[in-house]
Amino acid sequence: MSIQKYRSHHGEKANQQRAPNHVAIIMDGNGRWATQRNLSRTKGHRKGVESAWEAVSYCLENKIPVLTLFAFGQENWKRPSQEVRNLFRIFYLLLKRDMGRLLEHNVKLRIIGDRTPFAPYLRNTIQESEALTQNNTALTLNIAINYSGKWDILQAMQKLVEKHQGLHALDVLEKQFEAYLSFQGQPEPDLFIRTSGVQRLSNFMLWDLAYSEIFFTKALWPDFDKNEFDNAVSFFNQCERRFGLISEQVSVCSNIES
């Protein structure tokens, strides 16, 4: 379904709810979806790309400003080499073929993760894609590839130490450290979604998810549709986000804001 048709057909219910500022998703279950249908795992990953575009469409329609999709973790290099090659081919073709869709819908693309192992042609394509979309404002789409939460914390600490040589450990401030994390400058995810029924973080955004509401669904990623996203947003709207306060304090703050 095209983005425009998706917008007109699916926007009404979620528009009645409070939208998260940043949704982070572990897109789990492509391989199992394919296996259940006697298809190759690669076909499952390709079907998963369609679900990713539907998630982008949903965020555009419902004015969710930031979407992060976990596409490939550093631990995923342990998978069969052919599957890894196919995954990176799908990613490369996505950048080359679908850039027009991002530009058309004013989507800013950011690739998050360690690019060191990537072939030069892929690193160049990533840089070109980010440059082309850097001024877009409707949605920031983060794709985490060759990413891990532990790596992100470690590389941030390494950059901090390199930048501020001689800095005493007790003098390091939280905001100072956060400036070197991969997602710096963006709101922390207020809603985290994982598909396929698995209930763990899998080394994803370990620092950033500290106060996220967590929604698990049994739907495999290729089956994650508008209704599933609506369910996640409805769950988010039922959560009382206290950030260490008690309910009475939250109620007072809400009344003041309104």
Task: State which H helix or E strand residue 101 sits in.
Answer: helix 99-104
In the annotated binding site for Mg(2+), the residues are 28, 213
At 216-237, the pLDDT tens digits run 999 999 999 999 999 999 999 9
Average pLDDT for the chain = 90
In the annotated binding site for substrate, the residues are 29-33, 41, 45, 77, 79, 194, 200-202
Active-site option among 15, 21, 28, 190: 28
Among this protein's residues, is 135 annotated catalytic?
no
List, in sequence order, the alpha helices (H) in the chain.
3-10, 12-15, 30-36, 41-61, 81-97, 99-104, 120-133, 149-163, 174-178, 226-238, 247-257
Instruction: Say whether 21 sits in a helix, a strand or coil.
Output: coil
Tokens of 125: 């394509």
Residue 216 main-chain phi, psi, to 5 deg: -105, 135
Active-site option among 21, 76, 136, 231: 76
Residue 166's pLDDT is: 81
How many percent of the chain have pLDDT more than 70? 87
Asked if 211 and 241 count as a contact pair (C-beta separation under 8 A), the reply is yes
- For the chain, how long is the longest CA-to-CA vector? 58
Choice between 258 and 125, residue whose per-residue pLDDT is larger: 125
Tokens of 40: 């190759």
* Domains observed in the chain: 3-257 (3.40.1180.10)
What residue type is 216 in one-letter code?
A: F
Q: How far lies 99's CA from each of 5, 13, 200, in Å?
A: 19, 29, 32
At 188-203, the pLDDT tens digits run 999 999 999 999 999 9
Residue 164's pLDDT is: 87
| Matching residue, tokens 């532990």 | 150
Among this protein's residues, is 28 annotated catalytic?
yes
What residue type is 9 in one-letter code?
A: H
Residue 205's pLDDT is: 99
Q: What is the pTM of this model?
A: 0.88
Instruction: Say whether 68 sits in a helix, a strand or coil.
Output: strand
Which residues are paired to 70 by β-bridges? Answer: 26, 144
DSSP single-letter state for residue 146? E
CA 155 – CA 133 distance, rounded (Å): 26
Tokens of 94: 């996505």
Residue 140's pLDDT is: 99
In the annotated binding site, the residues are 28-33, 41, 45, 77, 79, 194, 200-202, 213
Asked if 166 and 120 count as a contact pair (C-beta separation under 8 A), the reply is no
Residue 10's pLDDT is: 43
Asked if 226 and 54 count as a contact pair (C-beta separation under 8 A), the reply is yes
Residue 165's pLDDT is: 85
Q: What is the dihedral of CA 200, 203, 206, 211, to 10 degrees?
A: -20
At 44-62, the pLDDT tens digits run 999 999 999 999 999 999 9
Q: Which range among 15-29, 55-69, 200-214 shows the weakest confidence by mean pLDDT?
A: 15-29
Query: Does 141 score more than 70 pLDDT?
Result: yes
